[in-house]
Amino acid sequence: MSNPKVFRELCRAEVHTKPTSGVLPGYVQANLLILPKSAADSFQDLCARNPVACPLLTKTLGSPHILEEHAKFISGDSFDIRTDFPKYNIYQRGKLVEQKNNCRKEWSKNHIGFLIGCSFSFEDALKQAGLTPKNVLRGTNVSMFVTTKYLDSAGIFHQCPYVVSMRPYKPEDINRVREITRPFKKTHGEPIDWGFDGAERLGISDLQKPDYGDSLRIAEDEVPVFWACGVTPQLAIATVGHMIDGLVIGHTPGHMLVLDATNVC
Amino acid sequence: MSNPKVFRELCRAEVHTKPTSGVLPGYVQANLLILPKSAADSFQDLCARNPVACPLLTKTLGSPHILEEHAKFISGDSFDIRTDFPKYNIYQRGKLVEQKNNCRKEWSKNHIGFLIGCSFSFEDALKQAGLTPKNVLRGTNVSMFVTTKYLDSAGIFHQCPYVVSMRPYKPEDINRVREITRPFKKTHGEPIDWGFDGAERLGISDLQKPDYGDSLRIAEDEVPVFWACGVTPQLAIATVGHMIDGLVIGHTPGHMLVLDATNVC
């Protein structure tokens, strides 16, 4: 496909229903969370209070076609949050009940859609600096861990832990890795912690046993480096979903929205 | 004194050099941190990444007389960040070296001053709702604890713990307490956690032994409620201060700047 608009149209026509990894490199991809209005204020507060773990890019304004600061993310008006992701997860009371190629039927006037930053962009920047993450080199999924660090509570969101992604680096490379990822302020930015003492501070007891993604051996001359991870808001929904009346809709992990923006720092 | 402008002039003339608790109720008071430019970007990132613990209100723009969004905080141009606090702490390499009534001599063109929100405002709101914090009722200082929850790292700021303030409430009052303090978004907002399980999540082992402030007995029908605390950025400076070249200046705790604003939510 030639550009993000054409790609979104292929998703809308349900021609592309696969993951978006490697699709249109250089364009920003976004995570999705669609919530009933009753939970939307709490979620927006959660993002405002925890911007590193929950980097809110924008939200729908009444219609599924219009975003706050629309032009920053989508060129023109050919946009539909209910169809432009390749695949959707439908949740009821925090439980996954269905996967669908669109959520036209599930979306209601009572829903607000939130787009959330994702870390694909900074992996690319690390690669270009010659610091390709090991998971990218191996073609495996990044290791992700549920921590004992909790988000600052907001409204219905309470006792929701940070999820972190881990990439091993040599100690002498950490300063550069931090500098390279720092500008990606809307996609988790620089690492939140690092080192084996950092793992301890985050309450991670076994670095070989990730809660999500693939296991990755840390070499003897490497230490773990931890970034806040986009799974955090999803786990937050799983944690408090039983308190939410009405359907919650997310993208199917890996099946992101491709934006027209190349940079949302 | 009749209004904040007059009060600031009294501070400038070194007539008022005492704490500001109870001074001009209803007006917002602010914490201070003046940093050399080399540390300023890191600190601004720290605030952006940890807005609940480090609620940045504004900063100086080149001159000690001009703030970003000046008119939101100060009416007119009668303002000097070097003199308008009643008392200043001067730090070198993270250590307190002097207390002074002004910092005219220490301030240089290489310094940037940051104003940070403080929680006096929400205590007043709780009082007005009939939920006066126990420390206010008793006239003691609030209990503050250094936690095992760390700020998301930013630049030179690494391994800096959250400091929390604790106020005991009855479990049935917690929802109202949360709702009342939630709108104070620039002054720590709603509690970050609560309950005895919350104390455990924050790594607080003895609720009777605060790290700062006075001890307060939690009655049998009460649980602890924890807010992020303005001591957090001060402790961050103490933690990484050895890496900062040049003088760091803060207000002397309790000796705040009184703004013309009545609300900075």
Minimum distance, in Å, between the CA of residue B159 and any CA atom of chain A = 8
Q: Which residue of A has its CA nearest to B201?
A: A148
Stronger pLDDT, B143 or A265, i.e. the higher one: B143
- CA-based nearest residue in chain A for residue B179: A155
Give start-end residues of each CATH 3.40.1640.10 domain in chain B.
4-18+27-119+241-258
CATH for the A128-233 domain, from 3.30.2040.10, 3.40.50.720, 3.40.309.10, 3.10.20.740: 3.30.2040.10
Amino acid (1-letter code) at residue A3:
N
**Is B4-18+27-119+241-258 CATH 3.60.15.10?**
no
Residues of B in contact with A190 (CB under 8 A): 45, 153-154
Contact: A51, B49; criterion CB under 8 Å: yes
| Residues carrying CATH 3.30.2040.10, chain A | 128-233
Q: Taking 80 as the threshold, does the pLDDT of residue B263 lie above it?
A: no
DSSP string for chain A = --SHHHHHHHHHTTS--S--TTSSTTS-EEEEEEEEHHHHHHHHHHHHH-TTTS-EEEEB-SSTT-BTTHHHH-SSS---TTTSSS-EEEEETTEEEEEES--TTT--TTEEEEEEE-THHHHHHHHHTT---HHHHHT-PPEEEEEEEEPPPBTTB-S-EEEEEEEEE-GGGHHHHHHHHTT-TTTT-S-SEEHHHHHHHTT---TTS-SBS---PPPTT-EEEEEE-THHHHHHHHHHGGG--S-EEEE-TT-PEEPS-S---
Contact: A192, B48; criterion CB under 8 Å = no
The CATH number for A4-119+241-258, chosen from 3.40.50.720, 3.50.50.60, 1.10.10.10, 3.40.1640.10, is 3.40.1640.10
Query: With bands split at pLDDT 50, 70 and 90, how would you rate the model's confidence at B4?
Result: very high
Parts of chain A belonging to CATH 3.40.1640.10: 4-119+241-258
| Residues of chain A contacting B190 with CB distance shorter than 8 Å | 45, 153-154
Rounded-to-integer distance, Cα B37 and Cα B151, Å: 21
**A49–B51 CB contact, under 8 Å:** yes
On chain B, the residues whose CB falls within 8 A of the CB of A53 are 152
Partner residue opposite B51 with nearest CB, options A51, A178, A191:
A51
Name the DSSP letter for residue B184: -
Which pLDDT tens digit goes with each residue over B215-249? 999 999 999 999 999 889 989 999 999 999 999 99
- pLDDT for B39 beyond 80: yes
pLDDT digits (tens, 9 = 90+) for A128-156: 999 999 988 888 888 999 999 999 999 99
Could B51 and A52 be called an inter-chain contact, meaning their C-beta atoms sit closer than 8 Å? no
Whats the size of chain A, residue-wise?
Answer: 265
- A118 pLDDT band, cuts 50/70/90, is confident
> Which residues lie across from A67 on neighbouring strands?
A60
Reported as a pLDDT band with limits 50, 70 and 90, residue A79 is: very high
**Is pLDDT of B122 > 90?**
no
What pLDDT score was predicted for residue A1? 62
Chain B residues with beta carbon closer than 8 angstroms to that of A192: 152-153
The first and second tokens of residue A251, run together, are 């993208």
Arithmetic mean of pLDDT, B14-41 = 91
| Residue intervals in chain B for CATH 3.30.2040.10 | 120-233
Q: Which residues of A touch B (CB under 8 A)?
A: 45, 48-53, 148-150, 152-155, 158-159, 178, 182, 185, 189-193, 201, 228
- Name which of A15-29, A224-238, B97-111 the model is least confident about: A15-29
- Give pLDDT, residue A120: 73
Residues of chain B by 3-state class (helix, strand, coil), percent to 5: 25, 25, 45
B190 and A153 in contact by Cβ < 8 A? yes
Residues of B in contact with A189 (CB under 8 A): 49
Third-level CATH fold of B120-233: PSTPO5379-like fold (3.30.2040)
